Structures are given as C-alpha cells and as structure tokens.
Chain A
Amino acid sequence: MNLYQLSSPATFYPIAGRLAPWFAWAAAICAATGLWIGFGVAPTDFQQGDAYRIIFIHVPAAWMSMFVYIVMAFWGVIALSFNTRLSAMMAQALAPTGAWMTFIALWTGAFWGRPTWGTYWAWDARMTSELILLFLYFGVIALRNALDDPRRADRACAVLSIVGAVNIPIIYFSVVWWNTLHQGASVSPTGSKMNTIMLTGMLVMSFAAWFYAIAVVLWRVRAIILERERGSAWIAALPGLARA
C-alpha cells in the first residue's frame, strides 16, 4: 500500500475502524492514570489549594482546542490544493471535537477563575480570543450545514478555516502581547515552571485528550464517509452494514 491509496475513502474507512478502538483504549488508560496522579499523588498547591486541580483538564483542553483547529486548517489547505475528498472529510470530522475542546477550556477556565481571580469571566485578550475560536468552530459547522453541495461546502469551509487560523497565534501569544488577567504560560517549548508531579499529571492528561480526539475523529470520519459516499459501489459491498 502506498500513501496515495490511503487518501481514498474506500481504503481509509476500514483502517480508521481498526485504529479507533486502540486510540480509545489509550485515551481511557491515560485518563485513568492522569486522574490518579492529579487527585491521588499530586499535592495541594500552597497558593491555590485544591482549586488548581482543574489544570489537569483545562490546559489539555485548551491545547487541543488550538491544535485541532490547526489540523483542521491544514486539511483545508490540502483539500483546496489537491481537491482530495478525504482531506475535506477529515476537516469536517475535526470541527465538532475542536468546538467541544474549546467549550471545555472556556468552562473549566471560568470555574478556575472564580476561586482564584474572583470572577468567572473577563474580557481579557486570552479569554476573548478563545471565545472567538469557539465562534469560528461554530461558523465552520454552520457554513457546512448551510450549503447543500458537499464539494462547495468543502471549499468554503476550507477557506474560512484557513482565514480563521490567524486567531491561533493571537490566542497563544495573547498573554505575552497584552496585559491579561490570564497568567502567562507555565509550560512552553523552552521549559516548565511547574512542580514535576503536577506537570506529569498534566502531560498524561494531555495524551488522554490527544488519543480521545484521534479516536473520536476517526469514528466521526467513518460516519461522514458513509454519509457522503453512500450509493457508491464500494459502500454497497461493505460487509456488516444494516440492510434495511
């Protein structure tokens, strides 16, 4: 098999079906380990008490909310450049999971902000740009639903995703560029300012979020392939489809 064959929905459909359960199990194991470290091993923070334990979901979800968007825009670029169906389907499959990750990042951020800063919400640069990210995901999903022709929707969503990608560096660097209520990065490519056990728990939970997102997106892209390719000969030949 070569990589070009992988870009065919007919080839990818069974592969995604075989891979998804492995990623789901990896996500469950990482989440269980991460929660055990986060609640059983990691000590209470000397400044924030136990409120800081929200970090174990907040930071992984916030990272994923941005990363999923970048991957969605990447598949949009590929779909526009090479006019490949599967790339557009991948972008389509990523949008809802990206929106959920963004919602979780915002929600857990609010529940962390209230006890530590005294407010659920502030219109600071980090929070506002993350809220815009949620609206971008909603926009991409709504745009697709508004267009009847899937191939036109692919192109329109790709353009919107790519244009919206300008928001990602704004979110990431907002705490550097502006004076925000939100704190600066504790973990960056150059190092970490966190306690080792807390950092370990957060990284394990980040792997859980990664594996969860991969499993869910593979599962969703299978549904999308069925939705969009139904009526084609290879789908009719699929074993195990409910014949009604």
Chain B
Amino acid sequence: MMDFLNMGGYGFYVWGAYGVTALAIVVELASLRARARAAEKLAGRDER
C-alpha cells in the first residue's frame, strides 16, 4: 500500500496530477448542478 502511494518516489507528482483532476471534475459537476437547479427554479417561476 505504501509502495503504491509512493509511486517509486513520484507520489507527489502522480497524485498531485490525479488529485487536482478529480477536484476539477467535482467542481465542474457541482457548479453544473447548481446552474441546472437555478435554471429549473427560474423556468418554473416563469410559468403563468
């Protein structure tokens, strides 16, 4: 397990790359969900 995390000494670079990619995906999905919900709310309110 420690060997896996260590990545032959390149752990910081490998997990730094993968971690920020995962974070970017989480942020994109979260902001998209917020946008979709706001749009649905707005469209629902517009109904006469």
Contacts and interface: CB of A to CB of B under 8 A. Distances in A.
Interface in A98-135: 100, 103-104, 107-108, 111-112, 114-115
Nearest to A224: B39
A3 interface: no
Given A61-B21, A97-B28, A111-B17, A242 B40 contact: yes
Contacts, number: 100
Contacts of B20: 104, 107-108, 111
A219 interface: yes
B35 A223 contact: yes
B29 to A, nearest CB: 7
A220 interface: yes
Interface residues of A, number: 39
Interface string A216-244: 10011011101100110001101001111
Q: List 3 tightest A-B contacts by C-beta distance, closest first.
A: A226-B39, A51-B10, A230-B43
Interface of B: 4, 7-10, 13-14, 16-18, 20-21, 24-25, 28-29, 32, 35-36, 39-48
